Structure 1
Amino acid sequence: MTESVEETAGPAGTQGPGSEPAPAPEGGYPAARLRLLQDDTAAGPDRRAALARLTDDWLAGLLTRHATAAGLSGTALVAVGGYGRGELSPRSDLDLLLLHDGRADPGALAALADHLWYPVWDLGLDLDHSVRTPAEARKAAREDLKVQLGLLDARHLAGDPELTAALRSTAYADWRESAPKRLPELHDLCQERAERQGELQFLLEPDLKEARGGLRDATALRAVAASWLADAPRGGLEAARTRLLDTRDALHLTTGRATDRLSLQEHPQVAEALGMLDADALLRQTYESARTISYAADVTWREVGRVLRARAVKPVLRGLLPGRGAGKGERSPLAEGVVELDGEAVLARTARPERDPVLVLRAAAAAAQAGLPLATHSIRRCAEAAATRPLPVPWPAEAREELVTLLGAGTYTVPVWEALEAEGLVTRLLPDWERVRCRPQRNPVHTWTVDRHLIETAVRASALTRRVHRPDLLLVAALLHDIGKGWPGDHSVAGETIAHDVAARLGFGARDTAVIATLVRHHLLLIETATRRDLDDPATVGAVAEAVRSAGTLELLHALTEADALATGPAAWSAWRGGLVADLVKRVAARLAGEPEEEVRPADEPTVEQQRLAAEARRTKGPVLALHARAETPTAPEDGSGTDESARRPVGVELLIAVPEQSGVLPAAAGVLALHRLTVRAADLLVLDPGGASPVLLLSWRVAAEYGSLPDADRLRVDLVRALDGSLDIPARLAERERAYARRARAVLAPPPRVSAVTGSSRTATVIEVRAQDAHGLLHRIGRALETAGVAVRSAHISTLGANAVDAFYVTDPDGEPLADAAAHELAAAVESALG
């Protein structure tokens, strides 16, 4: 390896006040530097090296000229950190150490330093600098790990080369002597940084340097190698690091700033600068590079932990614990041909992967079930064997069972799967995986890339296997449910075909293959129907029953729906959503069983609370409000050890509003909530129309305060009355709020809203579905557009998922009839135009 941690050799410097004016930039360096950066033919490692050489010559000239003029000897200018490695990105800072033998006059030495530092500052370049003797540098390194690591990259620029050579020699000797004690400290720094910055391979706006799998980790691996205690896997590591450096170069040139964060708005320009097809190609390459570095770091730190345990060095690296079974050097059987050794799952001495193509899956399943990492050398032996003797197609039953066992191991599945993927075994076993590998998901609701989301869904599904009769079908469907995202068009439709082929490849029978394909095709059916459709409409239940066709498939689809949502991110699942899905499943199960449908309360038969509010609204001839505080039930951790407090949902409020039927209620109520900074998490609107009494609109909202405390119900009622009688100008107030919000809010790159008419999904009304970026007053604008169109909203189902609003409105014409298809599409276009 050729890199160490990119840290400075001293405290960061900034230009401060002084009586001496800053010297003008020397020679032609600024112009030459600019020409190099503008040269389209120079890029990548060659440009970084050329920029370093150019800067070397400039700084060496400065030192030689001013040291000679001052009659100073016994000094040397040394580059450290990234500059020490001879790699300079366009806006990289310069890490410099002015080394001296201690004999120079302090005043003359300070003047020499000024002649070096001020020209750098005058060019607008960041500078980390220090002035030290070799003994002082060595002392600083002993006291500060970052300084010690920076000295590993010390490179002579000018002056006395013996000073630099002596410093490098002692720096490496000191590091190797102290490494057993300091490597745990370095590991903790890496862990803390990862917790703070996240994993580069999953971030939409990653920090190319600081995030886990970034340039800091790549350079930390060189420091480990320099200790002679362990070394990183070399395959692809240098190429991955180079790609991240190239991306950072393009980012610097695109933004003109010394930034390492790849912001969303910079993706297209950086991709173009690198000659890539589009922003997704840029992200995918970035994720692949980060994954290579992360895997190398995992393997390296595990080896460091093993070495330190063997030397009985304490403390053991955080998170790298010894195996739970066999003692040091002892082998404990895990499965046929697989044993535990020194905290890893390894191939037994008698194992012959070239004769046993199922061994790789057996070893992976055994490792995951035991909660152990799978040794790198064992994976590579299996990869070499798989190249010459792959699994037969269709797979034998044992191979299929081992895959299901691996998928059902819970959280331990993830590191084992990642190890297989790093060595190319996943795409060899499942060729269709290549299209989803490292594929980004730009919807902020999603936490993971497509491939990691599939594994996370299997992890979540593994906790639900006791709820289904066929856990194997559930786990395989979880692994494949988004496999179609690597293809154009509707990923569910494409995924159905791919899943059918993969299931057959795995050796499932025709009936099981059809079930897996159906689960993939309809993996979004339950959640979308439950949150966007009227469950009291018989057509809703009938459509779902027709799609799933059997109670067994429905049972599996229910579990898959929950696992998929839980693996998506914290905004995708809640007790409320789970309740809606469960209610839908119950009704569909009854339909499939041929049982008479459970009698449901018609919309005009209200609950006791609704009756009270409706009666009060009729009596007062005005709106009546009721607030009920509620909190979502915390989820339980997968190990069953009580409540996971980190999963607790914020407390929200159920707001019921009853209003005598009149025009403008929906936009008025939505506007009042927006003015009071209430975020609508979900909502329903129903018309209560009992015989002999005037109709009442009932709005049931689930809201949460955007910030601060919840408003008083009386204040909401007063504002609603004013909105309905026109004395409160909701559009003007919201426009003012949006202007104020825009001044402080960060711009979000969001796709345009999409409004569609879902014809044929209800016999009594027309369904208008709205998908848009959630924003202040969105529901108010939708309501106004529907009112302007002259349609009646008979019911509405509002759902907010992260930053996205997905709403369904059941509308009729003034006579209470569904709209004609042409009119429905015109209405959808009008609403979309109002939101654009």
Structure 2
Amino acid sequence: MTSLDTSTETEDSGPSGYAAARLRLLSEKARPGSPRRAALARLTDEWLGALFTAAAPPRGTALAAVGGYGRGELSPRSDLDLVLLHDGTASPREIAALADRIWYPVWDLGLALDHSVRTPAEARKTATDDLKAHLGLLDARPLAGDPALVTNLRTAVLADWRNQAPKRLPELDALCRERAERQGELQFLLEPDLKEARGGLRDATALRAVAASWVADAPRGGLAEARRVLLDTRDALHLTTGRATDRLALQEQDTVAGHLGLLDADTLLREVYEAARTIAYATDVTWREVGRVLRARSVRPRLRALIGGGKPPVERTPLAEGVVEMDGEAVLARTARPERDPVLPLRAAAAAALAALPLSPHAVRRLAAATGPLPVPWPAEAREALVTLLGAGEPTVPVWDALEAEGLVSRLLPDWERVRCRPQRNPVHTWTVDRHLVETAVRASLLTRRVGRPDLLLVAALLHDVGKGWPGDHSVAGETIARDAAARIGFDRHDVATIATLVRHHLLLVETATRRDLDDPATVAQVADAIGTVGTLELLHALTEADALATGPAAWSSWRGSLVADLVKRVTAVLAGEKSDQPEPAEPSAEQERLAIEALRTGEPVLTLHAHPETAPEDGAPEPVGVELLIAVPDQPGVLPAAAGVLALHRLTVRAADLRAVDLPGDLGTTSVLVLNWRVAAEYGSLPQATRLRADLLRALDGSLDVPARLAEREAAYPRRRGVQAPPPRVTVAPAASHHATVIEVRAQDAPGLLHRIGRALEGAAVRVRSAHVSTLGANAVDTLYVTRPDGSALSDEEAMDVAQALEGALR
């Protein structure tokens, strides 16, 4: 078929000529997409212009296209949005006759028509009273008659829009939110409404309106292409169904995909989801900027009055090394050097999520452009930052979306690209595969108190369905991918094997519990053989629940939960014969003994601070981030809370710690010296000098430094915000875990001063800490404490429970 020239092909201005030309244009295969929409708009312009001229219009009249037609976005079944303008000089009868000569031919063709007849003043007043009418008039375009009427009206309407922005934009934001609540997220719907759902064409139009207000502008990257994808899909949908519909129904998706030259319905949905995600992200960023600008406009006059007309100061609150909070966002510090710091994207993301702040799109863009690849395996700091990001709860989602928007996630985890925007054609599933993985990590973050290795739980949650990007059983494929990804992230061999097992068997518990006879010993034995250890079973139980809760409301129930819990109890009994996971205190090292002797000789604390090389994953357990700090102090009350409090005051994050009592012979018998081996990292900036730490420790021990009061002052000065409530702390007693002491486990949200509060609570309970093993895994602290009575004997069961309850109460 030859190309259609819309300027010459219309045989007459009547309906039949236009209808024939329109039919030929829509049946063309050579010009789909934007060219066809533009050609259809031109064809319609010429026809309506001819109708207007043939009606012998009186002076002072004009025909204008508004809304989608004004933008030239005519899909095959789009409405024609028209306004007949007049300056009021013609009689009402003349205007009515003119309108009839235009409207009736449109109706005769069966085209949907949204029409009005107004003077410019009436149109302007309608726009003031009706937000949707105002939005349509922003795109007014003259078709025929006096063009000055249309251009002057549009100029006035745009001026009104800008002047009324402080009122109009919040109204538009509320309208978009209400529509999103009603229609859902386009990027996650199996039968999405391309126009009304969040991330659809309505939101793209709203972004244009925001830009027209001059208050804020949407991120430009990919936005025009996303809009084009949705418009092309709507064109194909109209041609497939022959109806003016925006809902992409399941039964139409393969045919629509064929119209667009795509492989199948899944390919179509991935393209649509990708476009919707781009628009939704731009919407979030833009409305956040609108709110910031409007707040600044309302506050600025008062600030200027208070500071005498000067420029208001810009507050920057440090969040992490190279990351600060500014104006409600996490941004890069002025001293940040992304080109020299490959861990910065993960560190910035973790800091933003922990503070429940959005990650600035400008910062993400700079990170994507300037940051080099991480070494493989990742350094410990990068692994720690990823775990912290995943463990932050609900605030993880928008931060993850920001990383996705600039391609950083796929750069960090190459296999992510295969599950990105991948639809799940199971009505039980609420999300696409990639979003389901993130949501599972969010759910898992609420269950971290139940497991001894929250870092493995969170990473397994992120990877458990990653095999859905490959053919075959996704659990089998996922095991291989997860093994490679975990090794890339920097876990040791044992942890890599555990993560791979969790991914391979993430459906095992729920499928066995609901489909097998749990009274059959063979059933329980098979599960025990597959899982192997109590620690892995504990992780798998939490992953099973998180996965189901993140799937959708139909995937989990109290009945399913009770069946899975029963199975776990039976499998635990089978595995109960394995050795306890609790570490027995090891013998002190030569360096620790040397410091203990020095502390005993001087009667004062001895302290050393030095860098410690990171252990490669294949050499054993991954080393925590930071430097090594050794402190030896003659045994006395309050050492643990004093030392931990001093570290918190100096903004040192405890990544790992080990406390032990070293007994040394002396002239007066055996004397005990406490040796504390810390792995610490500065929250931001450089490490403090060892001499300052020692001086403050002496003051804390003699009571001249009020550590609790200083920590309270610091918390009040720098409040940290959380988007969701962290899981409550959990304190348990591990029975029969040691022959020499009572073992108490503390699992809590990591926070400045946490170990100080634990130490104070134990001092208050009148127990002696024989040794302590502290680890920080992302945002979670997992601490094992070996405690005794003051005489060195283990606590009774009742005493141990009292101490655990007191400790849990103090941490709450």
Match of 1:555 among 531, 538, 544: 538
Structure 1 residues 531 and 27: CA distance shift in structure 2, 3 A: closer
Aligned twin of 1:582: 565
Gaps of 5+ in 1: 1-22, 315-326, 596-636, 643-836
Question: Counterparts of 2:98 and 2:299 in 1: how far apart (Å)?
Answer: 45
Question: Counterparts of 2:168 and 2:317 in 1: how far apart (Å)?
Answer: 32
Tell me, yes or no, if structure 1 residue 256 matches structure 2 residue 242.
yes
Are the equivalent residues in 2 in contact too, given 1:24–1:119 (CA < 8 A)? no
Aligned twin of 1:367: 352
Structure 2: which amino acid aligns with 1:273?
H
Question: Counterparts of 1:557 and 1:181 in 2: how far apart (Å)?
Answer: 51
Question: Counterparts of 1:24 and 1:246 in 2: how far apart (Å)?
Answer: 28
Aligned twin of 2:31: 42
Aligned twin of 2:198: 212
Matches within 5 A, 1:768-807: none
Deviation, structure 1 residue 31: 0.5
Deviation, structure 1 residue 27: 5.2
Give the match's secondary structure for 1:460: helix
Give the match's secondary structure for 2:394: helix
Match of 1:341 among 319, 326, 330: 326
Match of 1:125 among 102, 111, 114: 111
Deviation, structure 1 residue 179: 1.1
Tell me, yes or no, if structure 1 residue 150 matches structure 2 residue 99.
no
Are the equivalent residues in 1 in contact too, given 2:446–2:727 (CA < 8 A)? no
Matches within 5 A, 1:67-86: 67-68=56-57, 72-86=58-72
Matches within 5 A, 1:671-750: none
Matches within 5 A, 1:384-533: 384-386=369-371, 389-533=372-516
Aligned twin of 1:202: 188
Question: Counterparts of 1:531 and 1:329 in 2: how far apart (Å)?
Answer: 58
Tell me, yes or no, if structure 1 residue 88 matches structure 2 residue 74.
yes
Deviation, structure 1 residue 594: 3.5
Q: Deviations over 1:711-732 (max 9, x none)?
A: xxxxxxxxxxxxxxxxxxxxxx
Aligned twin of 1:240: 226
Give the match's secondary structure for 1:441: coil
Structure 2: which amino acid aligns with 1:349?
R
Deviation, structure 1 residue 256: 0.2
Deviation, structure 1 residue 575: 1.0
Aligned twin of 2:522: 539
Deviation, structure 1 residue 638: 7.0
Are the equivalent residues in 1 in contact too, given 2:513–2:567 (CA < 8 A)? yes
Between 305-314 and 254-263, the greater mean CA deviation after superposition: 305-314
Deviation, structure 1 residue 513: 0.2
Q: Deviations over 1:764-789 (max 9, x none)?
A: xxxxxxxxxxxxxxxxxxxxxxxxxx
Q: Deviations over 1:515-557 (max 9, x none)?
A: 0000000000000000000000111001101100111111100
Are the equivalent residues in 2 in contact too, given 1:357–1:385 (CA < 8 A)? no
**Higher relative contact order (Cα pairs below 8 Å, separated by 6+ residues):** 2
Question: Counterparts of 1:200 and 1:461 in 2: how far apart (Å)?
Answer: 25
Match of 2:20 among 26, 31, 35: 31
Gaps of 5+ in 2: 1-11, 301-311, 579-722, 729-812
Structure 1 residues 122 and 27: CA distance shift in structure 2, 3 A: closer
Match of 1:301 among 260, 281, 287: 287
Question: Counterparts of 1:328 and 1:453 in 2: how far apart (Å)?
Answer: 42
Aligned twin of 1:64: 53
Structure 1: which amino acid aligns with 2:397?
V
Are the equivalent residues in 2 in contact too, given 1:67–1:73 (CA < 8 A)? no
Structure 2: which amino acid aligns with 1:565?
A
Question: Counterparts of 1:412 and 1:594 in 2: how far apart (Å)?
Answer: 41
Tell me, yes or no, if structure 1 residue 269 matches structure 2 residue 278.
no
Give the match's secondary structure for 2:253: helix
Are the equivalent residues in 2 in contact too, given 1:24–1:122 (CA < 8 A)? no
Are the equivalent residues in 2 in contact too, given 1:141–1:148 (CA < 8 A)? yes
Deviation, structure 1 residue 641: 10
Question: Counterparts of 2:527 and 2:258 in 1: how far apart (Å)?
Answer: 45
Are the equivalent residues in 1 in contact too, given 2:447–2:727 (CA < 8 A)? no
Question: Counterparts of 1:328 and 1:305 in 2: how far apart (Å)?
Answer: 19
Question: Counterparts of 2:370 and 2:252 in 1: how far apart (Å)?
Answer: 43
Structure 2: which amino acid aligns with 1:161?
P
Q: Deviations over 1:612-648 (max 9, x none)?
A: xxxxxxxxxxxxxxxxxxxxxxxxx973899xxxxxx
Give the match's secondary structure for 2:55: helix
Question: Counterparts of 2:313 and 2:496 in 1: how far apart (Å)?
Answer: 45
Matches within 5 A, 1:584-623: 584-594=567-577
Aligned twin of 1:803: none
Aligned twin of 1:329: 314
Are the equivalent residues in 2 in contact too, given 1:463–1:638 (CA < 8 A)? no
Question: Counterparts of 2:191 and 2:14 in 1: how far apart (Å)?
Answer: 36
Structure 1: which amino acid aligns with 2:256?
V
TM-score by length of 2: 0.68
Aligned twin of 2:765: none
Aligned twin of 2:41: 52
Are the equivalent residues in 2 in contact too, given 1:523–1:560 (CA < 8 A)? yes
Matched residue pairs, number? 562
Structure 2: which amino acid aligns with 1:639?
Q
Question: Counterparts of 2:330 and 2:438 in 1: how far apart (Å)?
Answer: 21
Structure 2: which amino acid aligns with 1:458?
A
Deviation, structure 1 residue 380: 1.1
Between 164-173 and 409-418, the greater mean CA deviation after superposition: 164-173
Aligned twin of 2:147: 161
Question: Counterparts of 2:553 and 2:16 in 1: how far apart (Å)?
Answer: 57
Are the equivalent residues in 2 in contact too, given 1:337–1:350 (CA < 8 A)? yes
Structure 1: which amino acid aligns with 2:544?
T
Deviation, structure 1 residue 24: 11
Structure 2: which amino acid aligns with 1:366?
A
Aligned twin of 2:637: none
Tell me, yes or no, if structure 1 residue 226 matches structure 2 residue 312.
no
Structure 2: which amino acid aligns with 1:552?
G
Are the equivalent residues in 1 in contact too, given 2:75–2:238 (CA < 8 A)? yes
Match of 1:639 among 713, 725, 728: 725
Are the equivalent residues in 2 in contact too, given 1:215–1:241 (CA < 8 A)? yes
Are the equivalent residues in 2 in contact too, given 1:25–1:122 (CA < 8 A)? no
Question: Counterparts of 1:313 and 1:63 in 2: how far apart (Å)?
Answer: 51
Question: Counterparts of 1:515 and 1:105 in 2: how far apart (Å)?
Answer: 84
Tell me, yes or no, if structure 1 residue 380 matches structure 2 residue 372.
no
Question: Counterparts of 2:727 and 2:546 in 1: how far apart (Å)?
Answer: 19
Structure 2: which amino acid aligns with 1:374?
L
Structure 2: which amino acid aligns with 1:80?
V
Are the equivalent residues in 2 in contact too, given 1:457–1:479 (CA < 8 A)? yes
Tell me, yes or no, if structure 1 residue 289 matches structure 2 residue 275.
yes
Give the match's secondary structure for 2:452: coil
C-alpha root-mean-square deviation of aligned residues, in Å?
A: 1.7
Question: Counterparts of 2:566 and 2:128 in 1: how far apart (Å)?
Answer: 65
Are the equivalent residues in 1 in contact too, given 2:13–2:51 (CA < 8 A)? no
Structure 1: which amino acid aligns with 2:230?
L
Are the equivalent residues in 2 in contact too, given 1:252–1:258 (CA < 8 A)? yes
Structure 1: which amino acid aligns with 2:507?
L
Are the equivalent residues in 2 in contact too, given 1:328–1:341 (CA < 8 A)? no
Detail structure 1 runs of 4+ shifted over 3 Å in the superposition.
Answer: 23-27, 637-642
- Once the two structures are aligned, what percentage of the paired residues are identical? 78
Question: Counterparts of 1:426 and 1:207 in 2: how far apart (Å)?
Answer: 28
Deviation, structure 1 residue 26: 3.4
Deviation, structure 1 residue 25: 4.6
Question: Counterparts of 1:539 and 1:126 in 2: how far apart (Å)?
Answer: 67
